[in-house]
C-alpha cells in the first residue's frame, strides 16, 4: 500500500521534533509533523526554558546583597518585569524558529494545524485534509489541570505565568510538586510576597525526605510562606484581588493565585478510542516497552504516555522509536536511574532511590553531610546544603545520590554517570576531592550517619 509519508508525527515538542528530524535526517524517511500551537512544545515555550530564565532572573536579588558582602559598592535596583518579559519572549521566538528550521533542514514537512486520527494509517488536519502514513507517532504532551473547586477559573496555571501583564504584589501557589515549588522560589526572588499551600505533610513527595525537608526549610528561610497540610476550599473575586478560603479555615486575599496541581495527557479528541488505542486511568496512552500502542502502526512518546514526564526522557523515547521502527534495531528507552533537578532555591539534584525507598528494598547505609557553603557563609547567609549517598550494604553500590545546593542540577548530571555505571561507595572514595568545592564532600564521606 502506498502512503503519503513513512511517518506522521502529531506534536512539535521536544519528543516529536527529535523523532521527526532523526527519522527524516538519518534514515531518509518521508516525514511530516503537525503542531497546533508553537514549535518547541511545553519545554521550550511554556516550561523548562522560560522557567529556568525566570530562575536566573530571580536569583539576582540575593546576588547583589552577596556582592555587597564581598566588598562591592553596588545598590540593588528594582526588577523590571516588563523589560524582562520582552526579552524572554524574544528568546522563545528565537528558539521556536530554531525548532522550525531543524525540521525544515531535515526535510520534514510541517503543518501548523491540529491533527487527529481517522484510521490506523490516516490523520485528518484541522483544515479537513487527510494524510496517510505507514507509522503515526503521537507526541502531544500534556497540560496543567486545576482542581474542581468553586472559583478555580480565577487562578492561572504555569501556562499563563510567563504572560502576566505585571507581577502581582502577593501570590498564592497551590501544589507541592516540581512546578509549585520552583515557582514559589521564582516569585519570591522577584519580590512577590509568596505563599504556597500544599495538601500533604511535606513538599516534593516521592523525593528523599531529608533532601525535601531541607529544601522546604530553606524556602521558608528565604521568605516563602509555606503552609503544609493546607489546600484551597474555594475562591472568589473581591475587587482586584482573589479571596481564598483554606482548609485550615484561613481566609486571605491574594493578587494572583496559581495552581500547579499536576498535569494531564493531551490525548482527548484525537480519535483514539474508535481505533482501539488503549488509555489509562489518567487518560494517558498505554504503550509497550517500545512505545507501541495497541494499534501496531501507532506509537506514542513523551508526557502523553505518562511514563517519566521529563523532556530528556521524551527525547530518548523518540530516539528509541526511530531506532526500533526506522533503523531495524529494536530499542527500549531506559527509564532506570534518571538523574533530575528541581530548580527550587536551593536547587535539588537527585538520582536513584531515596533513603526511604532504598531501605524498603534492602539493608542500607546512609552517608550524608549538611553544612554552610563557603561562598554564602562568607556573605553572612545561614543557608545550608546537603550531600547524601544511600549505599547498599550488600553490594556497596550507591543506590541514590541527593544534593541540595546551589548548582545541584549541574552536579547531579555528573554524579548520575557514576551511579548509572554502578559505582560503589569505595569508587566514590577512591576519587580525589576537587578542592575547595561543595561537591567534594561526596567523595570524603567517611562514616555512615545511619544504617537501616
Binding site for ligand NDP (CB under 6 A): 147, 174-180, 182, 198-200, 205, 231, 260-263, 309-310, 340-343
Residues 6 or more apart whose CB falls under 8 angstroms from that of 419 comprise 337, 339, 351, 352, 398, 400, 401
- Supply 60's cell numbers: 539576582
Complex with ligand NDP: residue 7 or 342, whichever CB lies closer:
342
Residue whose C-alpha is closest to residue 140's, from 43, 265, 22: 265
For 265, the grid coordinates are 495527557
Q: Which is nearer to ligand NDP, 24 or 341 (CB)?
A: 341
Of 437, 414, 440, nearest to 429 by C-alpha is 440
Query: Toward ligand NDP, which CB reaches closer, 349 or 423?
Result: 349
Provide, rounded to whole angstroms, the least separation between the CB of residue 359 and ligand NDP: 21
d(CA 151, CA 174): 14
For residue 216, the minimal CB distance to ligand NDP (Å) is 12
**Residue 314 beta carbon to ligand NDP: minimum distance, rounded to whole angstroms:** 10
Minimum distance from CB of 347 to ligand NDP (Å)?
A: 9
Instruction: Quickly count: other Cβ atoms within 10 Å of residue 447's Cβ.
Output: 6
Question: Least distance in Å: CB of 265 to ligand NDP?
Answer: 11
- Comparing CB distances to ligand NDP, the nearer of 20 and 174 is 174
Nearest Cα residue to 131 out of 7, 294, 19, 35: 7
> Could you give the residue ranges of the DSSP H alpha helices within 13-76?
14-27, 41-46, 48-69
Beta-sheet strands, E only, within 279-404: 298-300, 340-342, 348-352, 364-371, 385-392, 398-404
Give 3-state DSSP helix, strand, coil % of the chain, rounded to 5: 35, 25, 40
Which of 418, 416, 438 lies closest to 430, judged by CA? 418
Cβ-proximal residue to ligand NDP, closest one: 177
CA 217 from chain center: how many Å?
A: 22
Q: Which residues, at least 6 apart from 370, have a Cβ–Cβ distance to it below 8 Å?
A: 214, 384, 385, 386, 387
Least distance from ligand NDP to the Cβ atom of residue 146, Å: 8
Nearer to ligand NDP, 182 or 441 (CB): 182
> Among all residues, which ones are annotated catalytic?
435
Nearer to ligand NDP, 24 or 88 (CB): 88
Amino acid at each position: 500500500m502506498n502512503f503519503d509519508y513513512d511517518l506522521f508525527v502529531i506534536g512539535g515538542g521536544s519528543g516529536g521534533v527529535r523523532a521527526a528530524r532523526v527519522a527524516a535526517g538519518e534514515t531518509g524517511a518521508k516525514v511530516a509533523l503537525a503542531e497546533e500551537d508553537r514549535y518547541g512544545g511545553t519545554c521550550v515555550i511554556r516550561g523548562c526554558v522560560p522557567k529556568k530564565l525566570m530562575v536566573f532572573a530571580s536569583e539576582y536579588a540575593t546576588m547583589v546583597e552577596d556582592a555587597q558582602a564581598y566588598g562591592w559598592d553596588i545598590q540593588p535596583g528594582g526588577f523590571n518585569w516588563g523589560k524582562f518579559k520582552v526579552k524572554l519572549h524574544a528568546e522563545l521566538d528565537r528558539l521556536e524558529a530554531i525548532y522550525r528550521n531543524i525540521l525544515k533542514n531535515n526535510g520534514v514537512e510541517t503543518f501548523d494545524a491540529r491533527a487527529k486520527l481517522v484510521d490506523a494509517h490516516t490523520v485528518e488536519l484541522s483544515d479537513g485534509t487527510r494524510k496517510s502514513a505507514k507509522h503515526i507517532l503521537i507526541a502531544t504532551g500534556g497540560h496543567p489541570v486545576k482542581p474542581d473547586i468553586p472559583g478555580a477559573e480565577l487562578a492561572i496555571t504555569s501556562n499563563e505565568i510567563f504572560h502576566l501583564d505585571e507581577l502581582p504584589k502577593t501570590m498564592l501557589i497551590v501544589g507541592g510538586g516540581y512546578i509549585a515549588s520552583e515557582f514559589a522560589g521564582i516569585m519570591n526572588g522577584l519580590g512577590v510576597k509568596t505563599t504556597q499551600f500544599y495538601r500533604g505533610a511535606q513538599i516534593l513527595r516521592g523525593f528523599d525526605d531529608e533532601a525535601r525537608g531541607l529544601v522546604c526549610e530553606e524556602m521558608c528561610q528565604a521568605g516563602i510562606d509555606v503552609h503544609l497540610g493546607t489546600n484551597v476550599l474555594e475562591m472568589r473575586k473581591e475587587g482586584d484581588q482573589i479571596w481564598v478560603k483554606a482548609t485550615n479555615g484561613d481566609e486571605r486575599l491574594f493578587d494572583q493565585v496559581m495552581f500547579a496541581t499536576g498535569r494531564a495527557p493531551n490525548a482527548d479528541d484525537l480519535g483514539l478510542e474508535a481505533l482501539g488505542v488503549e488509555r489509562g486511568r489518567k487518560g494517558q496512552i498505554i504503550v509497550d516497552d517500545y512505545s507501541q500502542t495497541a494499534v501496531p502502526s501507532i506509537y506514542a512518546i513523551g508526557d502523553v504516555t505518562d511514563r517519566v514526564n521529563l523532556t530528556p526522557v521524551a527525547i530518548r523515547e523518540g530516539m528509541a522509536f526511530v531506532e526500533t521502527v526506522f533503523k531495524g534495531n529494536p530499542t527500549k528507552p531506559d527509564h532506570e536511574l534518571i538523574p533530575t533537578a528541581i530548580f527550587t532555591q536551593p536547587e535539588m539534584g537527585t538520582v536513584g532511590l531515596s533513603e526511604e525507598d532504598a531501605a524498603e528494598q534492602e539493608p542500607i547505609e546512609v552517608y550524608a553531610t549538611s553544612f554552610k557553603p563557603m561562598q554564602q557563609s562568607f556573605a553572612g547567609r545561614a543557608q545550608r546544603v546537603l550531600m547524601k549517598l544511600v549505599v547498599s550494604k550488600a553490594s556497596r553500590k550507591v543506590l541514590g545520590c541527593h544534593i541540595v545546593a546551589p548548582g545541584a542540577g549541574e552536579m547531579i548530571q555528573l554524579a548520575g554517570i557514576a551511579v548509572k555505571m554502578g559505582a560503589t561507595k569505595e569508587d566514590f572514595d577512591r576519587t580525589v576531592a576537587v578542592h575547595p568545592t561543595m561537591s567534594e564532600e561526596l567523595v570524603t564521606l567517611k562514616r555512615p550517619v545511619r544504617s537501616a
